[in-house]
Chains A and B, each alone.
Chain A
Amino acid sequence: MAVLISKDTLDTQKIISMVQDPLAGGTDIFIGTVRSETDYKKVTSLFFEAYAPMAEREMQKLINQASINWPIIKAVIHHRVGHLKVGDVAVVIAVSAAHRKAAFEACRYILDALKETVPIWKKEIFEDGQVWVSAHP
């Protein structure tokens, strides 16, 4: 599936293979992973929650919009939900195009827009508490 909210480990190689095409001269891939600190505070794990049917609809909308803005060939967005530890892959975006410029720009657009509109929520869990990211000013 081009868009997926998954409880299971994301298969980056499979996602890359999904956007391959004889007409593609380049593939741009963004892999978002869990990092060990935020604002110099140690993160022990992350919890991701999604409103899955709407999130998948919104992700498909981003691919549709990217296809209007750039001459891309294929695009795939998979996002993980559940408890993730440091180093785990949270999101993979792969975009193929005939030339690199469209692949780079469309991939960046999809990621930036995903962070703004797709109903997915991230909770950072620290040694001494937890916080829903971006919830408060």
Chain B
Amino acid sequence: MEIKLFGIAKDIVGKKVLKLDHSPANVELLKKYLIDEYPEFSNLNSLAIAVNHYYAEEEKTLSKYDEIAVIPPVSGG
């Protein structure tokens, strides 16, 4: 499973794409994995996951065919 990283998430992990051998089953578990591996994620104002370009709920199941991205607090405009 590949996870796209943007903004401060890219800085926290130290790369643009995070490759995982074993895929978390849903969004909630992916977030837990990220916070466990990179505790800095818990200091952010918010942490969202996008699946196929849509904001995803915690229960949303994940497959390796999905396009998954970490969305840290946005600051456009």
Contacts and interface: CB of A to CB of B under 8 A. Distances in A.
Tell whether A pairs with B.
yes
Interface of A: 32, 48-51, 53-55, 57, 79, 90-91, 111, 114-123, 132-137
B9 to A, nearest CB: 9
B63 to A, nearest CB: 18
Interface residues of B, number: 20
B77 interface: yes
B45 A135 contact: yes
Contact of A132 (B7, B53, B69, B77): B7
Majority secondary structure of chain A interface residues (helix, strand, loop or mixed): mixed
Q: Which 5 A-B pairs have the closest CB atoms?
A: A120-B76, A121-B7, A133-B75, A54-B53, A132-B8
B72 to A, nearest CB: 6
Contacts of A115: 74-77
A118 B74 contact: yes
